[in-house]
Amino acid sequence: MNRGDIWQIELGGTAGLRPALIITRQAVIPHLNKLTVAEITSRGKGYPTEVPIAQLANFRRDSYVQLDNIQTVSKARFVKYIGSLDSATMRAVGQKAILALGLEDCV
Read off the pLDDT of residues 6-57 as tens digits, 9 standing for 90 and up. Answer: 999 998 888 889 999 999 999 999 999 999 999 999 998 999 999 999 877 7
Decide the pairing of beta strands 50-54 and 34-41.
unpaired
How far is residue 97's CA from residue 30's CA, in Å, rounded to a whole number? 22
Which pLDDT score, from 0 to 100, does residue 27 have? 98
How far is residue 49's CA from residue 69's CA, in Å, rounded to a whole number? 10
* 96 exposure class (CB count in 10 Å sphere: 0-12, 13-18, 19+): buried
Give the DSSP H/E element, type plus range, for residue 83: strand 78-84
Going by C-beta distance under 8 Å and a sequence separation of 6 or more, which residues neighbour residue 25? 3
Which pLDDT score, from 0 to 100, does residue 81 have? 96
Which pLDDT score, from 0 to 100, does residue 59 have? 82
Domains of the chain with bracketed CATH: 5-106 (2.30.30.110)
How far is residue 41's CA from residue 34's CA, in Å, rounded to a whole number? 22
Which pLDDT score, from 0 to 100, does residue 8 have? 96
Which pLDDT score, from 0 to 100, does residue 7 have? 97
| pLDDT tens readout for residues 50-105 | 999 987 777 888 899 999 999 999 999 999 999 999 999 999 999 999 999 999 99
Identity at 10, one-letter amino acid code: E
